[in-house]
Chain A
Amino acid sequence: MSEPKLYLNGKPAEDFVENHEHVSPVNNYVMVLGALFFLTALTYAVSYANLGPASLPVAMGVAVVKATLVCMYFMHLRYDDRYHVFIFVSTLIFVAIFFAFTFFDFGSRDRVVEEQGTFVRRQDGGFDAMARVKKRPLPAGAHDAPAAAAADAHGAAPAAAAEPAGAEAGAHAVEPPAAAEAAPPAAAGH
């Protein structure tokens, strides 16, 4: 090239690539769309199978696969400048830090309460906003399933279903056993 177009530190730069362009074949996009539809149908179907505690990790796993497909092919990250991948992944790292530290805090809070007794403990009662409504009779023909049966039917953890049917107590004792399964993978370590 007779006239350099880009200068680096005052000197003409050779063989520069400033912008990665990649034209994917149409087939790629169609196949990715098909995979996304399939995975959507999969999560939808799985939500009817009572997986119990496994349902959250399974649903999140499928969502992560879908998100990866969208990022790699629709957003071109697979072919793009690695620096964009770096920006994207570092965002995710900061999200992971955000999640992990918040869950560490919540996970260790009860122990601090035990040891020091300085914080107000969450108490039973007073947390059930539905309690005052529940005391009234429900309209005729409506189901009046006890909470325990309802919770069981919808695949809640057995420990949760074992709670008293009245559920007037409302808020659950400090940390229900189901908490571990409800936490996202990032916080599973604590």
Chain B
Amino acid sequence: MSDHSTAHRPSGAEEVPHPFRQHHFDTAGQQAGAAKLGMWIFLGTEILMFSGLFLAYFLVRMLYPEMVLSSHELLNKVWGGVNTVVLLTSSFTMAMAVRCAQVGDQKWLKTHLLLTLTCAGMFMVVKTIEYSGKFAHGIFPGKYFDYEAAAHYAAEHGHQLEGLPHIFFGLYFVMTGLHGVHVLVGIGVILWIYLRAQKGHFGPHYYSPVENVGLYWHIVDLVWIFLFPLLYLVK
């Protein structure tokens, strides 16, 4: 990767035209600033949406502590940990992809985007393994929860389910499911960025889409940073 100044670079000063500048913006810097502002507002709404689920989790935990404690033992900490490492790595490669776009390193931009896609795919594979493992033992979302099969499964692992395990697993499926949907959307938009990068659309003077997709991907990572300890680890 080439050396590059790490100082602030006000983009209004040295304007270089690029073909993606839209006519209603005075400068490319204005366009990039507006795009990023919009992205941050969207990320704010994402945080608010997930906060409702986190609040539901904390309330259930407050009202039925034994139920949460006994149910969470059935989640596989190792798979959760693997997914955490995978997602953190993908966040790193995404940040590096943005940096490559900033300095105009086309080859590594594409490589980092592919690495990010690979990590996202690995995350979804692990999620599939986890979900199918739960479904195989009667742990389904909502009304399809099979208490008897779940109790046997728990007993095999030396645990006893207490209270309302279907509520805990309902929360588990909704929280990780909504997060998983975000990962799938992330795969879609990163693929879009990758295809555009192949056409050589991005460089030091135009990389807003890479940057904003990166911000979205980091928020997905951020949600998982909280989901992992709450669902898998905390006693």
Chain A residues engaging chain B, CB cutoff 8 angstroms? 5-7, 16-26, 29-30, 32-33, 36-37, 40, 43-44, 46-47, 50-52, 55-56, 59-60, 62-63, 66-67, 70-71, 73-75, 79-81, 83-84, 87-88, 90-92, 94-95, 98-99, 102-103, 106, 127-130, 132-134, 136, 138-139, 142-145, 147, 150-151, 154-157, 160, 163, 167, 170-172, 175-176, 178-179, 182-184, 187
- How distant is the Cα of A98 from the Cα of B226 in the complex, in angstroms? 17
Residue pairs across A and B with CB atoms within 8 Å: the count is 254
Looking at the assembled complex, report how far the CB atom of A156 sits from the nearest CB atom of chain B, in whole angstroms: 6
- How distant is the Cα of A25 from the Cα of B37 in the complex, in angstroms? 24
Looking at the assembled complex, report how far the CB atom of B129 sits from the nearest CB atom of chain A, in whole angstroms: 19
User: Residue B19 at the A interface, CB < 8 A?
Assistant: no
Contact status of A16 and B12, CB under 8 A, knowing A7-B26, A50-B235, A184-B58 = yes
Residues of chain B within 8 A (CB-CB) of A18 are 10-12, 27, 29-30, 32-33
CB pair A23–B62 under 8 Å, yes or no, is: no
Residues of chain B within 8 A (CB-CB) of A55 are 234-235
- How distant is the Cα of A40 from the Cα of B82 in the complex, in angstroms? 10
CB pair B66–A151 under 8 Å, yes or no, is: yes
Contact status of A139 and B163, CB under 8 A, knowing A18-B33, A88-B44, A160-B66 = no
CB pair B77–A44 under 8 Å, yes or no, is: yes
Looking at the assembled complex, report how far the CB atom of B232 sits from the nearest CB atom of chain A, in whole angstroms: 8
Closest to B88 in A: A36
Contact status of A176 and B65, CB under 8 A, knowing A5-B26, A23-B4, A47-B234 = yes
CB pair B47–A74 under 8 Å, yes or no, is: no
CB pair B162–A95 under 8 Å, yes or no, is: no
Closest to B51 in A: A95
- How distant is the Cα of A74 from the Cα of B26 in the complex, in angstroms? 29
- How distant is the Cα of A63 from the Cα of B166 in the complex, in angstroms? 26
User: Residue B103 at the A interface, CB < 8 A?
Assistant: yes
CB pair A43–B164 under 8 Å, yes or no, is: no
Residues of chain A within 8 A (CB-CB) of B43 are 88, 91
CB pair A23–B99 under 8 Å, yes or no, is: yes
Q: List 4 additional contacts besides A133-B147, A147-B162; criterion CB under 8 Å.
A: A44-B81, A127-B163, A154-B235, A172-B63
Residues of chain B within 8 A (CB-CB) of A92 are 47
- How distant is the Cα of A159 from the Cα of B166 in the complex, in angstroms? 24
Looking at the assembled complex, report how far the CB atom of B87 sits from the nearest CB atom of chain A, in whole angstroms: 10
CB pair A133–B148 under 8 Å, yes or no, is: yes
CB pair B65–A74 under 8 Å, yes or no, is: no
Chain B residues engaging chain A, CB cutoff 8 angstroms? 1, 4-6, 8-12, 15, 26-27, 29-30, 32-33, 36-37, 40-41, 43-44, 47-48, 51-52, 55, 58-59, 61-66, 69-70, 73, 77, 81, 84-85, 88-89, 91-92, 94-96, 99, 102-103, 147-148, 151-152, 155-156, 158-166, 214-215, 218, 221-222, 225-226, 228-230, 232-235
Residues of chain B within 8 A (CB-CB) of A143 are 155, 158-160
With beta carbons under 8 angstroms apart, the residue of B41, B99, B155 that contacts A26 is: B99
- How distant is the Cα of A87 from the Cα of B229 in the complex, in angstroms? 26
Contact status of A22 and B162, CB under 8 A, knowing A133-B148, A183-B62 = no
- A-B pairs with beta carbons under 8 Å apart, 19 shown: A5-B27, A18-B27, A21-B11, A24-B99, A30-B92, A37-B88, A63-B226, A70-B221, A74-B214, A87-B37, A87-B41, A91-B43, A106-B59, A129-B147, A134-B151, A144-B155, A147-B160, A156-B65, A170-B163
CB pair A129–B5 under 8 Å, yes or no, is: no
CB pair A84–B235 under 8 Å, yes or no, is: no
Residues of chain B within 8 A (CB-CB) of A176 are 65
